[in-house]
Amino acid sequence: MSPNRFNISCLCGGVSQQVQSVVAHGETLKLSINHGDVDRHATGILCASYYPIHEPHQTDDTTVFHGVDGWTRYFCSTCGCHVLRRRDIDGVTVWEAATGVLLHNTADDVGADARFARHTGVSDTKDGGISIWLSEIDGQRLESTTTPVTPSSQSTTKLPPTPAGFSKDSLHASCACGRVSYHITRPTEESYLPHSGFPDLQYAQVEHSAEFMKNPDTVKWWIRSNGTKYLAGTCACRSCRLISGFEVQTWAFVPRCNIFFHIPGPDDGQSGILPLNFADLPAGVAKTYESSPGVFREFCGNCGATIFWRDSWRPDVIDVSVGLLRADEGARAETWLDWWTERCSFEEETERGRSGEPARIARRLIDGLERGLRSGAQSK
């Protein structure tokens, strides 16, 4: 039996190659969904997952980030997609590929599909993070290697320090390396001024007319909870998957007027605060990739964390990657965000551009997520 190989690719195609699974034929691999601090803040999303492979043939066109958790991560230098990670364990070098970049496999055996079996690093989230919506996948309950702990016992040594003099009336966000640092404020009168079409999160584009999706009644859908919170949700679209490297992206929708960047100053420990204006961001703070005409995605060029999604038609409401947020109550930041639980955005794209094992395990994951979202809403 020939070894099982996977074609992998990021969104721009710069790191496309074929990698070989380490799993023997007929063996079922148990995958982990990782929620640790570094996983979230190096990717920008609430969880990350990887598939064990043999050493890849090449890591050209990638940027390397050495995390304080012991993993060395490789992400595309052009589009920011996390592709690989490596670690030395007991003298053996372990390689893994991000599950979202797996497209097709060469030795397809339906009965030997890998399956998501456990959560790791949940205690880092304080509130359980996205694991609360992923208790089971395909009828099998997931194990958890840790349990949520109280905020007072949470260690923050894995993350960059919060800027000096930071206001408790705002929500700090940062990537794993600290190059990207900003804060969000509560909705104000100005937050209601932008216009935006409806997001697929609330209304599936495939089921509604283009005219309806333009939001002709100018509903301010991004403002929630009587003007105190912002809408947040999950996304499984092909572009988000291949720009992050993982199946589930998590976005919050925040007006640009409520986002303020912290720019390092000449004195150690001091930083300037600038309202978010993409044209004025100093060089080196973030990299921008135009994923399609008029659609832009920002990521940290040092650790690879996804930061924002924006487009030319809705310039004043920004998709903020939730994995960077550092709310006191936990990763879901529920004193700031109102999570949409009726659907996962673009769930119909879960298998787009994929086949075989990668498509099947992704479909089971997103199906489990949607069941968890809906059951969680019903239990409130």
Q: How many helices (H) and strands (E) does the chain have?
A: 4, 25
pLDDT score for 379: 53
Are residues 236 and 246 in contact, defined by beta-carbon separation less than 8 angstroms? no
pLDDT score for 152: 39
Are residues 257 and 191 in contact, defined by beta-carbon separation less than 8 angstroms? yes
Are residues 131 and 119 in contact, defined by beta-carbon separation less than 8 angstroms? yes
User: Distance (Å, rounded) from C-alpha 48 to C-alpha 315?
Assistant: 29
Which residues pair with residue 312 across a beta bridge?
A: none
Which residues pair with residue 16 across a beta bridge?
A: none
Backbone angles phi, psi at 130, to 5 degrees: -75, -10
Is the backbone of residue 342 left (phi > 0), alpha (psi -120 to 50) or beta? alpha
Q: Kind of pairing, strands 140-141 and 143-144?
A: unpaired
In the chain, the domains with their CATH numbers are 5-151 (2.170.150.70), 156-379 (2.170.150.70)
pLDDT score for 148: 43
Q: Kind of pairing, strands 30-34 and 115-120?
A: parallel
pLDDT score for 147: 44
Are residues 332 and 230 in contact, defined by beta-carbon separation less than 8 angstroms? no
Residue type, 229: K
Are residues 105 and 358 in contact, defined by beta-carbon separation less than 8 angstroms? yes
Are residues 265 and 279 in contact, defined by beta-carbon separation less than 8 angstroms? no
Closest to 244 (Cα-Cα) out of 319, 317, 146, 335? 319
**In sequence order, what DSSP letters do the residues of 251-269 get, joined into one string?**
EEEEEGGGEEEEEE-SSTT
Tell me the pTM.
0.93
Closest to 210 (Cα-Cα) out of 220, 219, 200? 200
User: Distance (Å, rounded) from C-alpha 94 to C-alpha 51?
Assistant: 11
Give the ranges where the chain is alpha helix by DSSP (H).
37-43, 210-213, 238-244, 356-379
Which secondary-structure segment (H or E) carries 8? strand 5-8
Q: What is the pLDDT along the chain (380 residues), one digit of tens a residue?
A: 567 899 999 999 999 999 999 987 667 899 999 999 999 999 999 999 999 999 998 888 999 999 999 999 999 999 999 999 999 999 999 999 999 999 999 877 767 899 999 999 999 999 999 999 999 999 999 998 754 444 433 444 688 888 766 677 899 999 999 999 999 999 999 999 999 999 999 999 999 999 999 999 999 999 999 999 999 999 999 999 999 999 999 999 999 999 999 987 766 556 789 999 999 888 889 999 999 999 999 999 999 999 999 999 999 999 999 999 999 999 999 999 999 999 999 999 999 999 999 999 999 999 999 999 998 755 55
Q: Is 316 exposed, middle or buried (0-12, 13-18, 19+ CB in 10 A)?
A: middle
Residue type, 308: F
User: Distance (Å, rounded) from C-alpha 45 to C-alpha 130?
Assistant: 10
